[in-house]
Amino acid sequence: MTVIAWVPDLMDRSRFPPGVEFVTDPARLSEPADLVIIDLARLPSLEVLGPIVAPTVGFAPHVDGDLAEAARQAGCDDVLARSVFFRRVADIVSGAG
């Protein structure tokens, strides 16, 4: 399973299971993948969600409901509160979550 992630924070990256490819350019999120994971709070623009064809999971602070809704409207398939995402990250990456 190919998982691409836009997660700029190194501490957050350390919480992911092995095998995730972290990208530094959000334009790479539209590359072929089985899953794309996005730290919505650090994304420069929600416009990058448009060309993504893979299933997407985004996470954002639970207090930022406007960002979560805007991400859904921009095409993010699943938006989770940050705390929920990191509790489930291993299952999400493995395809079980």
Query: Where along the chain do its domains lie?
Result: 3-94
pLDDT recorded at residue 63:
84
Residue 96 has pLDDT above 80, yes or no: no
Q: What does each C-alpha distance from 83 to 32, 49, 60 come to in angstroms?
A: 27, 22, 9
Residue with tokens 């060309």: 51
What's the whole-model pTM score?
Answer: 0.93
Q: Distance between CA atoms of 95 and 17, rounded to whole angstroms?
A: 12
Each residue's pLDDT tens digit, 3-62: 999 999 999 999 999 999 999 999 899 999 999 999 999 988 888 898 999 999 999 998
Residue 87 has pLDDT above 60, yes or no: yes
Q: Which CATH class is domain 3-94?
A: alpha beta
Furthest C-alpha separation in the chain = 32
Residue 84 has pLDDT above 70, yes or no: yes
